[in-house]
Structures are given as C-alpha cells and as structure tokens.
Amino acid sequence: MPQLVEGQPISDFRSDTVTRPDAAMRAAMAGAVVGDDVFGDDPTVQELERDAAGMFGKPAGLFVPTGTMANLIAVSVHARPGEEVFLESLSHTYNNEVGGIARFAGVITRTFTGDRGAIDPEEVARYARPGDLHQPRTAALVVENTHNFWGGRVIPLEHMERLWEVAQAHDVRLHIDGARIWNAVAASGVLPAAWGALCDTVYFCLSKGLGAPIGSVLLGPEAFIAEARKVRKVLGGGMRQVGVLAAAGLVALHEGPGRLHEDHDHAQALARGIAEIPGAVVDPESCDTNILFVRTEAGAASYGPIADGLRAAGVWAIPLGELGIRFVTHRDVDGEDVERALVALRELIPTHGRGA
Ligand SMILES: Cc1ncc(COP(=O)(O)O)c(C=O)c1O
C-alpha cells in the first residue's frame, strides 16, 4: 500500500533503507534497558551483539551505526596503511563509501570485475602479493553478498568456498560486506552460520531489509572485535545509551529475516511485469533477491526521463547511470505498489525507452 508523503500516495522503491520502524520496534525502544555502551555496560547492545554473533557462528560482535562504518572498521583492522585490498569493481565499498578506505585506512585497492559480482578466485590467487621489499602486501578481500549494483545477486555458497580457500592459502583476510546477507539467506536457504564459516569477518545491516531505523552488526574473532571497538571509537562511533537503538535492532534481527521472501516475490513480480513491456531490457531470471535494475533498448539517456515520469506518478526509484533505474523492494512496499509501478512503466518505457 502506498505510504503518504506530504499527503501524496508514494510507492518508494529507492532503497530498502526507507522503511519506518514498526510498532514492535517503537515499543522495544521505549522500554529498552540501557547503560553506557562505551563503558561496556549496555545490556541491550550486548544482547544484540551476542545474538547476531551466535547466528553467524562468530565469537563476538560490535554494534555500529552504519554499513559504511562496518566496512571501514573491518578494512582498518585487517590492513595496515599502504597495504592492498581486493574488491569487486562495482562493490559498494569501492564505489559508494566516499573512498573512506583510502582516506582513513590508507590502503590501496585492486578491483576485479566479477561474473555478476563474483570475483574469480583464480584472479585472487594470481594477483595476491605476500609483500616483498618493493610491494604492498595484499591484506584483505572484500566480498559483497548480496551484491547491490549487480542487482542483489547472491554470490553462491560454492563460490564463497573457493574464495575462502584461496584467501586462506594466501594469508588474505576475507571480509563479507553482508549489508544484505540476510537476503542471501532467504533466497538460498543457506543458514547464516554457513556463510559465517567462509570468512574472517562479516557484517549485516539491521537498517535495510530487516527494517530497523539504524544500525549494523560487525562480527568476527574476539581479538578482531576488540580492535574494531577501538577503531569505532577513533571514528567517533562510540555511542552511549544506544540500547534504545539496539532494542529496535533486536526486533529486526529476530523478526525481519522470516519475511524477506515476500520482498523477493515482489521484486520477481515487478521483473516479470516489466519484461513484458516493449522496449524494456530486464531479465527476471537474474533477479535473485530484492533489487532490480531496469534498463531499456534506448539505454542510459532514457533513464532520467523515465525516473522523472515515475516520480510524477508517485513511484520513486533511482536512475544509476548505465546500470539502469534501480528498484528495491522492502517491507513498506507490497503488491499494490508493484502494480502502480507497472502501470506507470507501461506508459513510460514505450515512450522513452524504445530502440531506434
Ligand atoms: C552493499 C552495501 N554495503 C554497504 C552499504 C552501506 O550501508 P550504510 O548506508 O548503512 O552506510 C550499503 C548501503 O546501501 C550497501 O548496499
């Protein structure tokens, strides 16, 4: 059902971050038992960190404000300034975190274009450097799963196994940018602990598909988390009575994952509907989870006008250059919103998106 924004019905597909905390989250926030988390005595934060770590089979966890900070902390702990980090070319950490890992962690990067986001393990093996007198040591590999700019693609477990083997063989730490790893869990049926077993560190966002207003949890070995806690403090991320936020996070963690398949079904319905529109270039088969990039025969020049037309119709989605117009499904859009989007696109794509 469309949400009312300034009195107008809006179907907001811009991101799964736009969800508003539900009644259960708000009640949990209001009743949260809190302490000063910088002194290490906020029981609600500790419960969240413990529960999340347990699910992924990791010894310890750290509540952080954002996914961006989780990635920056992970890279800062895994790599010294001047060392090298491997990333996929379209990864969020490389493209959309304002160059933070260069600016604050001081690392150099090497990017690899993966097969729909999945970096070839042989490439990792070929380019990983132990760090002789002249060369930077390759310290870490960041794997994004699901992969945002590759349309929410799940990097399959077997592929993760191969990357994990190669990373270990070359003494490279593997960090999963699991902003949406719960979507991978929902789509694949593979439990969190199985993904957690194939990396040194992983984090996930509470503030995306799980529906919390804020927060991510970074997971890894005790020593890693102890150092991560220190880096979080350096970055100004030491938060005090933050159990009020962790309380919403706990609701999201325990109740969010079970409904993500609904988001995937909505994305699939959208993909199938759009694929039938003349001029649309969309492959429903490659829509694994809750993200869909809509492209057209006319290409990038048409995405701005189509997105403008959508907006005028009360359907919000983001044009992202050559990648297409991104639609993300989440708990605040449903079948009615999908239908509204399709009605608008049936008019807009044939008008702006047909090939010559
Ligand atoms: C794959 C991925 N990683 C990291 C982030 C950053 O998360 P945040 O917005 O919480 O900083 C995002 C945000 O969209 C993302 O999609």
Per-residue pLDDT tens for 202-224? Answer: 999 999 999 999 999 999 999 99
Q: How confident is the model at residue 152 (pLDDT cuts 50, 70, 90)?
A: very high
290 within ligand 1 shell (Cβ under 6 A): no
Q: How confident is the model at residue 174 (pLDDT cuts 50, 70, 90)?
A: very high
- Residue located nearest, by CA, to atom 5 of ligand 1: 67
User: Above 90 in pLDDT, residue 355?
Assistant: no
Residues 317-324 have a mean pLDDT of 97
From residue 80, alpha-carbon distances to 104, 105, 164, 260 in Å are 11, 7, 21, 37
What separation in Å is there between the alpha carbon of 347 and the centre of ligand 1? Answer: 32
What separation in Å is there between the alpha carbon of 320 and the centre of ligand 1? Answer: 15
Question: Rounded to whole angstroms, how far apart are CA atoms 260 and 317?
Answer: 20
- Which CATH number is 3-20+259-352's, of 1.10.150.650, 1.10.10.10, 3.90.1150.10, 3.40.50.2000? 3.90.1150.10
User: Above 90 in pLDDT, residue 143?
Assistant: yes
Residues 282-290 have a mean pLDDT of 96
In this prediction, residue 300 carries a pLDDT of 97
What separation in Å is there between the alpha carbon of 68 and the centre of ligand 1? Answer: 6
Q: What single DSSP character describes residue 325? A: E
144 within ligand 1 shell (Cβ under 6 A): yes
- On whether the 32-255 domain is CATH 3.40.1010.10, my answer is no
Sheet holding 291-296, edge to edge: 280-281, 291-296, 325-328, 318-319
Read out DSSP for 131-192? Answer: --SSS--EEEEEEESSBTTTTSB---HHHHHHHHHHHHHTT-EEEEEETTHHHHHHHH---H
Residues 114-130 have a mean pLDDT of 96
Q: Where are the domains of the chain?
A: 3-20+259-352, 32-255
Q: Hunting for tokens 């009575």 — which residue is that?
A: 241
> Do 3-20+259-352 and 32-255 share a fold?
no
- Phi, then psi, of 281 in degrees rounded to 5: -120, 95
In this prediction, residue 197 carries a pLDDT of 98
In this prediction, residue 356 carries a pLDDT of 74
Residues 40-68 have a mean pLDDT of 98
